[in-house]
């Protein structure tokens, strides 16, 4: 514990460092120069960052650990604020910033492996939308809720996203104080068509130089994977040649199509794209009704959750 406290002191600078002989070129002095004293909420895990607008009880959840110069004794409360990032202007633009949702007291934390206060903090879609006073006309699948955690100490100090310097937002401390949650909905059942292309003609190189992962679709915990084959290595998913070019044996490396079937009663369908190593990939996703739900232009789709939504009626 003494070694842990020492490391924490150096990085976050929560103690005043004094020395009889201070070397102006000391590396530690350079690292700590301009860093304020304070405390952090270290991200242990983001448990869920997708909200289902069809289910008011679906929740954003993150597990955090509080650290201060008194090993957590200064923790008083954590306030949760929410904002909406409106990415669907077709239904108008909704503005709601830094709205208070609820507060978590120190008593709701328990000692973690390091003896420091740890808790899982969650907010339901209904709580967040209600706090902002939103109705179903104000949001749509594809929008994002931004959650900020404000750390309040017993001595009156308050820390949040604005006070988090780069030295603590990444690495071991991973303390951004701010998290985003994508809004989705219960998907319409049926067959979704995915048309896939590779401009170079050697199949998809996603998160690997000689192939990589395909698009995954998480349907209520059941994972489906689709993608294009490459001539370099075998993939774990089935690759189907482009329907119009079935006479060309190389067509599966330039264009391909796949069908994703979402069953009746599915509560969620989360689409994830692993990335594009060489900027050669493009694809389109069509709903069961034939509508274009997403078009990933060549080289422009980064790794992450895809805003593919077609809500069940």
- pLDDT per residue over 183-240, tens digit each? 988 899 999 999 999 999 888 999 988 888 899 999 999 999 999 888 887 776 666 5
Domain map (residue ranges) of the chain: 2-14+37-184, 190-306
Please state the rounded mean pLDDT for residues 238-254: 56
Please state the rounded mean pLDDT for residues 153-167: 80
Q: How much is the pLDDT for 252? A: 65
pLDDT at 172 over 60: no
Concatenated DSSP letters for 294-305? Answer: EEE-TTT--SEE
Answer whether 182's CB lies under 8 Å from 48's CB. no
Answer whether 167's CB lies under 8 Å from 11's CB. yes
Concatenated DSSP letters for 30-62? Answer: HHHTTPPP--EEEEEEEEE-EEETT-TT-EEEE
Among 123-132, 217-226, 243-252, name the one with the lowest average pLDDT.
243-252
Q: How much is the pLDDT for 253? A: 85
Query: What's the CATH fold of domain 2-14+37-184?
Result: Immunoglobulin-like (2.60.40)
Answer whether 101's CB lies under 8 Å from 146's CB. no
Among 42-46, 94-98, 230-234, name the one with the lowest average pLDDT.
230-234
Dihedral sign for Cα atoms in the order 9, 11, 13, 19: positive
This prediction's pTM: 0.65
pLDDT at 125 over 50: yes
Among 81-90, 157-166, 281-290, name the one with the lowest average pLDDT.
157-166
User: pLDDT band at residue 82, thresholds of 50, 70 and 90?
Assistant: very high
Please state the rounded mean pLDDT for residues 6-27: 37
Among 19-33, 83-97, 226-240, name the one with the lowest average pLDDT.
19-33
Q: How much is the pLDDT for 12? A: 39
Say how far apart CA 210 and CA 206 lie, in whole Å.
Answer: 9
Q: How much is the pLDDT for 231? A: 82
Q: How much is the pLDDT for 6? A: 39
Q: How much is the pLDDT for 105? A: 98
Q: How much is the pLDDT for 33? A: 44
Q: Residue 49: exposed, middle, or buried by beta-carbon count in 10 A (0-12, 13-18, 19+)?
A: middle
Q: How much is the pLDDT for 238? A: 65
Answer whether 45's CB lies under 8 Å from 120's CB. no
Please give the mean pLDDT across all residues of the chain.
82
Dihedral sign for Cα atoms in the order 295, 298, 302, 304: positive
């Amino acid at each position: 514990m003494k070694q842990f406290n020492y490391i924490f002191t150096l990085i976050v600078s929560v103690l005043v460092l004094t020395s009889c002989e201070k070397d102006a070129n000391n590396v530690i002095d350079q690292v700590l120069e301009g860093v304020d004293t304070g405390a952090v909420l270290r991200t242990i895990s983001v448990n869920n960052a997708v909200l289902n607008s069809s289910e008011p009880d679906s929740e954003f959840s993150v597990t955090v650990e509080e650290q201060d110069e008194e090993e957590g004794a200064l923790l008083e409360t954590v306030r949760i604020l929410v904002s909406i990032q409106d990415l669907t202007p077709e239904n108008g633009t909704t503005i709601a910033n830094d709205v208070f949702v609820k507060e978590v007291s120190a008593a709701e934390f328990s000692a973690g492996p390091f003896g420091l206060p740890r808790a899982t903090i969650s907010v339901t879609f209904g709580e967040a939308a209600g706090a902002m006073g939103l109705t179903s006309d104000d949001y749509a699948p594809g929008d994002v809720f931004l959650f900020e955690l404000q750390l309040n100490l017993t001595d009156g100090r308050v820390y949040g996203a604005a006070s988090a310097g780069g030295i603590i937002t990444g690495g071991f401390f991973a303390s951004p104080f701010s998290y985003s949650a994508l809004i989705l909905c219960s998907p319409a059942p049926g067959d979704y068509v995915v048309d896939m292309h590779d401009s170079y003609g050697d199949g998809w190189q996603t998160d690997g130089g000689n192939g990589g992962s395909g698009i995954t679709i998480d349907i209520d915990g059941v994972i489906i994977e689709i993608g294009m084959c490459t001539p370099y290595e075998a993939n774990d998913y089935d690759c189907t040649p482009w329907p119009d070019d079935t006479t060309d044996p190389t067509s599966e490396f330039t264009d391909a199509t796949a069908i994703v079937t979402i069953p009746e009663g599915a509560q969620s369908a989360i689409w994830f794209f692993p990335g594009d190593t060489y900027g050669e990939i493009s694809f389109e996703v069509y709903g069961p009704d034939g509508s274009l739900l997403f078009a990933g232009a060549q080289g422009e789709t980064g790794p992450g959750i895809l805003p593919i939504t077609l809500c069940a009626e």
